[in-house]
C-alpha cells in the first residue's frame, strides 16, 4: 500500500515527472489532480490521462471564473471526452479579499450552484475550495443533499468540520496542520474515516519544508496527523486510502 495525495497541482511544477518519480520512491503512489479552468483541464487531460497513477477532476475554480453567467458547456464536453474523470473540482467559494481579483460573491455562488447541480445529475462527488465562505457553502449544499465531497485544505475549527461530517462529507488535511493548533485539534477529533491527505502542491508549502519537491510534503503532514491522533502511520495510510476509494467511486 502507498500514500494517496488527494489534492495537488503538479502540472504547475517545472518537472512533474521527476517529482512523481521521487515521491513514488518515497512511498506516495497515487495522486488526484483537480482542475481549475478549461485550458488547464485540456492540458492535464492530454498530459496525464494515460498515467495509471493519476486521477483527474475538472471544475471551474472560484479564482478563475469568467466574469459572466455560468456556462458549463466546456465542462460538459470534458466529462464526455474524459469519462474517467472522478469528480467535479475544484469548485467553491472564496470571499477572501486578497491580492487575487475574484468574481463577485453572488456570481461565484451561481457558478458553484450550477456545478453542484451538474454533480448531482452525473452522480459525481465534488472537491470544494472554501475560504471565508463556509456558511454559504453549507447553505447551498442543503439544496443538494445527495452530493458528497471533500472540503480541501480544511483549516478548522472542529465545530465547522462537524457541519460537513453530519452531511457525510470528508475534510482534506494539508500542511496547514503543521502551522495551526486549531487545524491540528480539528483533525485530531474528527473520525479517521473522513480524512483525506493532500499537499495542494505547489501552492501550500509547510513553513519549514524538508524537501524541494512539494509532493513530499505529504509525508510531513501524515507524520503530524498520526502524532496528533496517536495512531501509527500504517493505520493512517490504510484509513486515508480507503477514504479516497469510498468518496471517489471511480478512483
Cα–Cα distances in angstroms (integers) from residue 222 to residues 143, 165, 197, in the given order:
34, 21, 7
Considering the complex, state which of residue 124 and residue 150 has its C-beta at the smaller distance from Zn ion: 150
CB of 165 to Zn ion, least distance (A): 21
The site map against Zn ion for 172-211 (x = CB under 5 A) is ----------------------------x-----------
Residue with cell 457541519: 163
Minimum CB–partner distance for residue 174 and Zn ion (Å): 9
Instruction: Report the nearest approach of Zn ion to the CB of residue 67 (Å).
Output: 21
**Which CB, 169 or 229, lies closer to Zn ion?**
169
Q: Supply the minimum distance, in Å, between the C-beta of residue 60 and Zn ion.
A: 13
Pairing of strands 28-33, 54-56: parallel
| Choice between 94 and 200, CB closer to Zn ion | 200
Other Cβ atoms closer than 10 A to 223: 15
CB closest to Zn ion, residue no: 200
Size of the site for Zn ion (CB under 5 A): 1
Q: What is the strand order of the sheet 54-56 is part of?
A: 3-5, 28-33, 54-56
Site for Zn ion in 93-132 (CB under 5 A): none
Could you give the maximum distance between any two Cα atoms of the chain, in Å?
49
Identify whether the C-beta of residue 92 lies closer than 8 Å to the C-beta of residue 129. yes
Task: List residues near Zn ion by CB under 5 A.
Answer: 200
Amino acid at each position: 500500500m502507498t500514500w494517496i495525495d488527494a489534492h495537488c497541482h503538479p502540472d504547475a511544477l517545472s518537472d512533474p515527472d521527476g517529482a512523481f518519480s521521487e515521491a513514488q520512491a518515497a512511498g506516495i503512489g497515487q495522486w488526484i489532480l483537480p482542475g481549475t479552468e478549461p485550458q488547464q483541464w485540456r492540458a492535464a487531460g492530454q498530459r496525464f490521462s494515460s498515467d495509471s497513477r493519476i486521477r483527474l477532476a475538472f471544475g471551474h475554480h472560484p479564482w478563475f471564473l469568467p466574469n459572466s453567467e455560468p456556462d458549463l458547456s466546456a465542462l460538459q464536453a470534458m466529462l464526455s471526452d474524459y469519462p474517467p474523470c472522478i469528480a467535479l473540482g475544484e469548485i467553491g467559494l472564496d470571499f477572501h479579499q486578497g491580492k487575487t481579483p475574484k468574481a463577485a460573491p453572488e456570481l461565484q455562488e451561481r457558478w458553484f450552484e450550477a456545478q453542484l447541480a451538474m454533480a448531482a445529475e452525473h452522480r459525481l462527488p465534488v472537491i470544494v475550495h472554501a475560504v471565508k465562505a463556509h456558511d454559504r457553502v453549507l447553505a447551498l449544499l442543503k439544496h443538494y443533499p445527495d452530493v458528497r465531497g471533500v472540503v480541501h485544505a480544511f483549516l478548522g475549527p472542529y465545530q465547522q468540520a462537524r457541519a460537513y461530517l453530519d452531511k457525510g462529507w470528508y475534510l482534506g488535511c494539508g500542511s496547514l496542520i503543521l502551522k495551526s493548533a486549531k487545524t491540528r485539534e480539528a483533525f485530531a477529533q474528527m473520525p479517521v474515516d473522513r480524512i483525506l491527505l493532500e499537499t495542494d502542491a505547489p501552492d501550500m508549502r509547510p513553513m519549514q519544508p524538508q524537501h524541494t519537491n512539494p509532493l513530499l510534503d505529504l509525508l510531513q503532514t501524515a507524520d503530524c496527523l498520526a502524532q496528533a491522533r496517536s495512531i501509527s502511520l500504517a493505520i493512517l495510510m490504510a484509513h486515508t486510502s480507503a477514504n479516497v476509494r469510498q468518496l471517489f467511486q471511480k478512483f
